[in-house]
Every structure is written in structure tokens, then in C-alpha cells.
Structure 1
Amino acid sequence: MVSISGLPAFCAYAATALGLVALYLGVYLTATAHREIALIRENNLAAAIALGGSLVGYTIPLSVSIFNAQSILDCVIWGLVALVVQLSVYGLVRLVLPDLSRRIEAGEVAAATFLASASVAGGIVDAAAMTY
């Protein structure tokens, strides 16, 4: 027999996750010096790689926060922690590559790949640290 008794909780956590992803994208897109969406619309591969890596780097710990959450509020708090971690990763990469935005705007895939890799690595470490 199939039960859908968990459907309300699924819907609540999925909606929360979508809201947190939208918040993350809004904050991240505002924090970066380049305009990823416009660049992606212009077929800038570097912008797509950088933003895609950042999004994956955020959603990995977000999924762990959903898995471990005792409540929606718990999930939201840890989702916000993941947001701060990703913004910190971006800031650290900018310390290493001060001209990061210019390089992404110019379509330089090496800089974008480094940012994407750092974002995913930060997300994996963040997720592993969420062992509460």
C-alpha cells in the first residue's frame, strides 16, 4: 500500500527550499560585480559556469539542512548559514582573483571554473559540517 502521508511535509520543505534558492540567487546576483543573467543571455559560458557552480554549491548544504531539519525554521536557519558560506567563498575567490568579474565578463572560463569549483567545494564542506 502506498501512503502519501508525508506529502504535506514534502510540499512545505520543497516550497521552503524554492524560497531559499530564490533568496540566494537574489542576494548572490546582487553581491557580484558582474551581471550573470545578462551575460548568460549573451551566451557567456564563463558566467554560466560560475553561476551554475555557485547554485550547486548552495543547494548541496541546503539539501542536507532539509534532511537534518527538525522543523521548517531549523531548515531556514541552516539555509541562511549556507548562503553566508557561499558569499564568503565568493569573497575569498575575489581575494585570490581581484579581477574575477572582469574575467568572467570577458568569457574567461578558467576564472569561472575556479569560482565554480570553490563554490562546490565550499558547499560540500558546509554540508559535511551540518552534522547536528
Structure 2
Amino acid sequence: MDALLIGLTNFAIYFGLSLVALLLFKVVYTFLTPYDDWALVKEKNMAAACALSGATIGFTIALSSAISNSVSLVDFAVWAVIALVAQLIAYLVVRLFMPKITQRIQDGETPAGIVLGAVSIAIGILNAASLTY
């Protein structure tokens, strides 16, 4: 019974911290974009939805690896921050190679959103694989 209680406690702590990290990612990522991601999604802008969804999925993939491989809560927090930074760098790199991508997303050009979302997921997968040791 003690093992079950310890397991449930660890689950609750890691799950709760993951939700906090996900919320932090959403705040930082949407602050970094020059447009209001949520407003565009509410306006049914598919490009913004694809980009934001890809970024969220990419971060969550890396975050799940951080949970699986961390040896402590501090270790998890450090890797969660690294995962967040990697996703932000991915966004900035895409903007570097596609300087008009933010305008294209604002204009609702779905291919631009798909590219940004796909790069974010790819970086999340690479990030997750790199978090193993």
C-alpha cells in the first residue's frame, strides 16, 4: 500500500509540474510570436492553429522525456527549461529561414503553419531523444 501511495504522490507531483511547465511554455511562446496566437485560432485561422499545436506537441514530447528520464524534481525542472528553450530556438530558426512566415500565418496560409508546426514537432522529438542518458 505504501508503494501505491508513493507512486500516486510522484504521479501527482510530476503531472502537476508538467501542467505548470506547459502553461509557462504557452505564455512564453505566445509572447515571442508577434501575433496573438489565441485570437487567430479563435478566428479559425488554420495556419495559427497548426503552428501553435505543433509547438505545443513538440514541447510536450520533450517534456515527457524529461519526466521519464529525470532523477529528481530539480533534474526534471532543468530539462523542462532546456526543452522550452529548444522549442523557442526552433521557432526563431524557422523565422530566420522564412522571414515572412509570421505574416503568412496571420494571413491564414495553412502551409506556413504546417511547416512551423512540423519543425516544432521534429525539434521536440530530437529534444526528447537527446534528453535520455
Query: How many correspondences in the alignment?
Result: 131
1:59-87 per-position Cα deviation (integer Å, ceiling 9, x unaligned):
00100000011111111100000000000
The answer to whether the aligner puts 1:81 opposite 2:82 as a matched pair is yes
Distance 1:39 1:13 in 2: 31
**Runs of 4+ deviating beyond 4 Å:** none
1:100 Cα deviation after fit:
1.1
1:26 Cα deviation after fit:
0.4
The answer to whether the aligner puts 1:7 opposite 2:5 as a matched pair is no
Q: Which residue of 1 aligns with 2:24?
A: 23
Q: Cα RMSD over matched residues?
A: 1.1
Q: TM-score, normalised by structure 2?
A: 0.95
Structure 2: any 5+ residue segments left out of the alignment? none
The answer to whether the aligner puts 1:67 opposite 2:78 as a matched pair is no
Which amino acid in 2 is paired with 1:112? G
Which SS does the other structure have where 1:62 is aligned? Answer: helix
Identity in percent: 41
Q: TM-score, normalised by structure 1?
A: 0.96
Structure 1: any 5+ residue segments left out of the alignment? none
Which SS does the other structure have where 2:35 is aligned? Answer: coil
Distance 2:101 2:56 in 1: 18
1:4 Cα deviation after fit:
2.8
1:131 Cα deviation after fit:
1.6
Which SS does the other structure have where 2:4 is aligned? Answer: coil
Q: Which residue of 2 aligns with 1:131?
A: 132
Which amino acid in 1 is paired with 2:86? V
Distance 1:4 1:96 in 2: 50
